[in-house]
Structure 1
Amino acid sequence: MKELKKHVRTLFDLSEKEAEIFLSQFTRVSLSKNDVFMPTGKVCHTIGLIEKGLMKCVYHRNGEETVFEFAYENSFISDYYSFVTLTPSEKEIRCLEDTIVHTISRESLEKLGKEHVFIESMSRKINERLFLRMHERLKSMLLDPAAERYQKLVAERQDLTQRIPQYLIASYLNVKPETISRIRKKISNRP
């Protein structure tokens, strides 16, 4: 929890006391590999903050899985669309590794927001970051070649390519697994 507090303080420019207040309403949950954090079809009323582990967010269509995003240490995780609109989730969030996640309910978060002004500022910053991240991802999917999208993923977290199976990386980048093999081969052959 110490690392999470440090991360939250830095991310939102909070004092030690503010970070403690915010994190005090979170509950530590241990999940195993393949456990579902958020199932398809249920309204999401929870936001998680990952201490350790890795999750994937996927859409299911015609028996196929399409990876929307990965979440790992120090990442917030939720079906934010479902959380905001109060509509059933269209995606599933599942653990790729044994995971420790700290969760907060909508009710607790709203209560905190009413009691502490700085929570509103945090909420705005989270919304801005989510928008910017989705904008960059969409722009990259439309404009960047697959190799560049792969390199951006690696630049974000180099260890992800060791932790995530190649077929899931391919799904996330919207390419075939063979394309990932070719990209990796080109990168490893560079002087």
Structure 2
Amino acid sequence: MRQVLDSFFSYLENIQNLTPSSIDRLARLSSVVRLNKNEILQQIGKTCRTIYFVNHGAARIFYYKDGLEITEYFAFEKDLIIRAESLFTNQPSQKGIICMEDTEFISIPSEPLFSLFDSHHDIERLFRKLIQNAYVETVRRIELIQFNTAEERYQALLANHPEVLQKVPLKFIASYLGITQVSLSRIRGSLS
């Protein structure tokens, strides 16, 4: 497990320099969670109390609307995956997190992590940057939906996540783009 965490902390240090003391405190809080394809990381209706990073594999955030399963977000290697609206409000989430393949997560419980922010300002800065980046990505996704065609959204997804076609079934890609699988097939055909 230590090798997995060392690699993870190297990645985090590219975002924010961390003191040895901060790395030690984070290491003591962190654990590795391994789930199989189609296993649920977080159930719908549960309150999010943990911050997860995908170390290897792929996961997605999903919800149900009018009986249809909708994909909101894909997470690949080194991506943060949380239910922010639940984590920060301490309310149950209407969304769940599921693995799209065998996936290894780094798990950090939020309450002890947040309690470190006052004494370890570098940890606070790191997570502020991570949350800011996630917020910007969310705004970009909303703007893609508002201002771009389905074809442009598909091309942007491929540009930002070239691995998506190897890791994600087309029905989830279509759902994420807000289109039917038939429309996605047409788009893919026109781009071939």
Q: Please point out which of 39, 46, 50 is paired with 2:43.
A: 39
- d(CA) in 2 for partners of 1:19, 1:177: 44
- Counterpart of 1:75, as a letter, is D
Partner residue in 2 for 1:150: 154
- d(CA) in 1 for partners of 2:150, 2:7: 33
Residue 19 of structure 1: how far off its partner (Å): 4.5
- Counterpart of 2:108, as a letter, is I
Change (3 A) 1:15 1:88: closer
Query: Are 1:81 and 2:88 matched, yes or no?
Result: no
- When normalised by structure 2's length, the TM-score is 0.90
Partner residue in 1 for 2:16: 13
Q: Please point out which of 122, 125, 129 is paired with 2:133.
A: 129
Partner residue in 2 for 1:60: 64
Unmatched runs of 5 consecutive residues or more in structure 1: none
Q: Kindly indicate whether the alpha-carbon contact (under 8 Å) linking 1:113 and 1:120 is maintained by their aligned counterparts in 2.
A: yes
Unmatched runs of 5 consecutive residues or more in structure 2: none
Query: Are 1:186 and 2:184 matched, yes or no?
Result: no
User: Identity of paired residues, percent?
Assistant: 30
Residue 112 of structure 1: how far off its partner (Å): 2.4
- d(CA) in 1 for partners of 2:159, 2:26: 30
- d(CA) in 2 for partners of 1:56, 1:127: 18
Q: Secondary structure at the match of 2:38?
A: coil
Q: Kindly indicate whether the alpha-carbon contact (under 8 Å) linking 2:36 and 2:99 is maintained by their aligned counterparts in 1.
A: yes
- d(CA) in 2 for partners of 1:61, 1:187: 30
Residue 135 of structure 1: how far off its partner (Å): 1.0
Residue 8 of structure 1: how far off its partner (Å): 1.1
CA RMSD in angstroms, aligned pairs only: 1.6
Q: Kindly indicate whether the alpha-carbon contact (under 8 Å) linking 2:19 and 2:122 is maintained by their aligned counterparts in 1.
A: no
Q: Kindly indicate whether the alpha-carbon contact (under 8 Å) linking 1:26 and 1:102 is maintained by their aligned counterparts in 2.
A: yes
Q: Kindly indicate whether the alpha-carbon contact (under 8 Å) linking 2:116 and 2:124 is maintained by their aligned counterparts in 1.
A: no
- d(CA) in 2 for partners of 1:187, 1:69: 24
Residue 130 of structure 1: how far off its partner (Å): 2.1
- d(CA) in 2 for partners of 1:121, 1:167: 38
Greater alpha carbon shift after TM alignment, 98-107 vs 123-132: 123-132
The alignment of Structure 1 onto Structure 2 pairs a total of residues equal to: 187
Residue 20 of structure 1: how far off its partner (Å): 5.1
